Amino acid sequence: MKYKIKSICCIGAGYVGGPTMAVIADKCPNVVVEVVDVNKERIDDWNNENFDKLPVYEPGLSEIIKRCRNRNLFFSTLIEDKIRNADMVFISVNTPTKTKGVGAGKASDLKWVEACARQVAKFAKGHTIVVEKSTLPVRTAEVIKSILESSEKNSLTESNDSSFDVLSNPEFLSEGTAINDLVNPDRILIGGEKEDAIEALCDVYRNWVSEEKILKTNVWSSELAKLTANAFLAQRISSINSISALCEETGADVREVSRAIGSDSRIGSKFLQSGPGFGGSCFKKDILNLVYLSEFFGLPEVATFWEGVVKLNNWHQKRISKLVVKKLFGTVANKKITILGFAFKANTNDTRESSAIPICKDLIEEGAILKIHDPKVDPNQISRDLGKEQKKEKDLAKEGDWIFEKNIKSACLDSDALIILTEWSDYSQIDWIEIENVMRKPSWIFDSRSVIDPKDFVKSNLNVWRVGDGSIL
Ligand code: UDX
Ligand code: ADP
């Protein structure tokens, strides 16, 4: 039977659900796209008249929302209603790592996914294609399917004519470039059992994606491919970060090493940028999922191999905070330190797993007074991440405090050190003479993102450290 999709409901209005549904609505004007979430505040923000106040910052997103919102793209908390009317339901809710019970610290917590599956089971009418979009451990589709099937059999549904198909359709968008990634994807991956359901989802993507980019697999391959893609990407970053430490000791420059190895077409040049360690909601979680799966299936060597990628990342983040303390004569207590960038990468307001979090926590623990600047991150989010409220300027004398600064220059006033943790383009345009004049001497610049040009510092008295640069000044 051929299914024609006219209405889509997406459960979860976050960093994945929001931008993905915006692009689907934009590219498929004949499909009504309803994005629902339990979080009313988030939904209100998506409906905000002021497009600068959308809950997710992504270049190009607000323009799409302007075009589509209240045309064929709607945001609401009417979860039950929208499930009832949908031909296709995307599950795009968060799946954080479990903090307790079996698999704690490694396996993903599926309670939100399970809750969604139960809601879909209860309220769906007619035939509904359920698509898992969240990053999920392998075999989650099976969980969703068994919940849906048991309600079919036991008549737990509102209507007695409901039936379901479950597809896996992992998202590969990268924050900061999400709109371009969605509009021009490298591939669309669809895992499923029934040809009709797979075709229905293919038809949605065919509105703007060419046929050869749509890959069809079985459900397990699709789920495992998503974890593997993220694990491979994260592994490249840990690899280059490990080499950056070696560069600093040997007089080599990690940028030169990256260029040299990246021009080998077998290696390729992407994801070889040494930084403060990878962050973001996916890499660590997905690798830990792989570790959990490998242990579960009795493959400890495989588990240890992938766990090493996360361990190296943790070590590298610590290495940076330790190094700052060491360069500042072994103590940062009561010293002002400017932090430029708190987001886990540029062009997003997302701070999940950002390397800035452990690095700032370490420095606060050592007694530093941090002056944090980020062009897009909300200071309330920084308070939540650091587990500490910011102080007012006049109360800042104490050790281990932090304050949010809107202006880069005032963030540097009287600081002993400045650390660049996110590669925002504003930071590559800084006038270093101006900064040198307002910092306390001797002053240090730590660039963990290769944003600065060391040539700009030849005549200055600023001390400079750049990640992986053993040749510096
Ligand atoms: C990642 C995957 O790229 C994406 O396909 C998946 O859907 C979700 O997870 P995301 O976390 O948004 O996307 O960002 P990504 O660009 O992959 O960066 C992750 C982290 O790695 C960031 O902290 C980034 O700064 C860091 N990174 C990336 C490096 O340190 N060096 C690099 O060369 C690339
Ligand atoms: P992601 O990066 O995967 O999009 P987010 O945390 O940004 O993750 O977004 C997930 C969203 O899913 C949140 O806004 C959360 O409120 C929502 N959510 C979680 N569980 C449910 C549920 N059962 N029903 C509706 N929305 C949910």
pLDDT tens sequence across 311-325: 999 999 999 999 999
What CATH number is attached to the domain comprising 206? Answer: 3.40.50.720
pLDDT at 208: 98
Q: Is residue 388 part of a domain?
A: yes
Same structural domain, 191 and 256: no
pLDDT at 243 over 70: yes
* Position 146 in a domain: yes
* Residue among 349, 313, 334, 298 nearest 417 (CA): 334
Note the pLDDT of residue 152. 62
Q: Which range of residues forms the domain containing residue 17?
A: 7-217
Residue nearest to atom 9 of ligand 1 (CA): 282
For the Cβ of 273 lying below 6 angstroms from any atom of ligand 1, the answer is: yes
Rounded average pLDDT over 159-188: 93
Asked if 282 is an active-site residue, the reply is yes
pLDDT for residue 43 is more than 90: yes
Q: For ligand 2, say whether the CB of 13 is within 6 Å of any of its atoms.
A: yes
Residue 429 pLDDT > 80 = yes
Q: Which ligand is nearest to the CA of 78?
A: 2
What is the model's pLDDT at position 194? 94
Domain shared by 213 and 262, yes or no: no
Q: What is the mean pLDDT of the chain?
A: 94
- Quickly list DSSP for 397-426: TSTT-EEE-SSHHHHHTT-SEEEE-S--GG
Q: Is 341 within a domain? A: yes
Contact 134, 95 (CB under 8 A): yes
Amino acid at 148: L
Calculate the CA dihedral of residues 212, 213, 216, 219 and round it to 10 degrees.
170
Query: 95-109, 152-166, 260-274, 407-421: which range is least confident on average?
Result: 152-166
Query: Ligand 1: does its nearest atom lie under 6 Å from the Cβ of 230?
Result: yes
| 457 and 378 share one domain | yes
Q: What CA–CA distance (Å, rounded) separates 371 from 290?
A: 37
Q: What is the amino acid identity at position 203? A: D
Catalytic residue among 171, 353, 405, 423: 171
Query: Mind listing the pLDDT tens digit for each residue in 2-29?
Result: 899 999 999 999 999 999 999 999 999 9
Tokens 């599956």 correspond to: 117
pLDDT at res. 459: 87
Query: Where is the domain boundary, 217, 236, 269?
Result: 217
pLDDT at 88 over 80: yes
CB 468 near ligand 1, within 6 Å: no
Confidence of residue 393 (pLDDT cuts 50, 70, 90): confident
Q: What's the CA angle centered on 17, arms 274 and 234, to 5 degrees?
A: 20
CB of 82 within 6 A of ligand 1: the answer is no
Question: What pLDDT band is residue 255 in, cutting at 50, 70 and 90?
Answer: very high
**240 falls within a domain:** no
Give nearest CA residue, ligand 2 atom 17: 12
Check whether 116 has a pLDDT greater than 90: yes
Give yes or no: residues 269 and 208 share one domain.
no
- Please give the number of the atom of ligand 1 that sits closest to the Cα of 241: 30
Predicted local distance difference test score (pLDDT) of residue 98: 84
Reported as a pLDDT band with limits 50, 70 and 90, residue 414 is very high
Whether the pLDDT of residue 153 is over 80: the answer is no
Q: Cβ–Cβ contacts within 10 Å for residue 126, how many?
A: 12
Does some domain include residue 316?
yes
Task: Look at ligand 2, atom 6, and give the residue with the nearest C-alpha.
Answer: 94
Burial of residue 76 (number of CB atoms within 10 Å: 0-12, 13-18, 19+) = middle
Distance 13 CA to ligand 2 centre (A): 6
Ligand 1 atom nearest 135 alpha carbon: 7
Last residue of a domain, one of 171, 198, 217: 217
Let me know if 9 is a catalytic residue.
no
Domain count, the chain: 2
Closest ligand 2 atom, residue 39 Cα: 16
Rounded to the nearest angstrom, the distance between the alpha carbon of 254 and the centre of ligand 1 is 19
Is 244 contained in some domain? no
Q: Residue 159 above 70 pLDDT?
A: no
pLDDT at res. 440: 97
Give domain status of residue 243, yes or no: no
Q: Does 229 map to a domain? A: no
pLDDT tens digits along 292-344 = 999 999 999 999 999 999 999 999 999 999 999 999 999 999 999 999 999 99
What is the average pLDDT across 253-281? Answer: 98
Model pLDDT, residue 143: 84
Q: Are strands 417-420 and 336-340 parallel, antiparallel or unpaired?
A: parallel
- For the Cβ of 181 lying below 6 angstroms from any atom of ligand 1, the answer is no
Rounded to whole angstroms, the Cα distance separating 436 from 445 reads 10
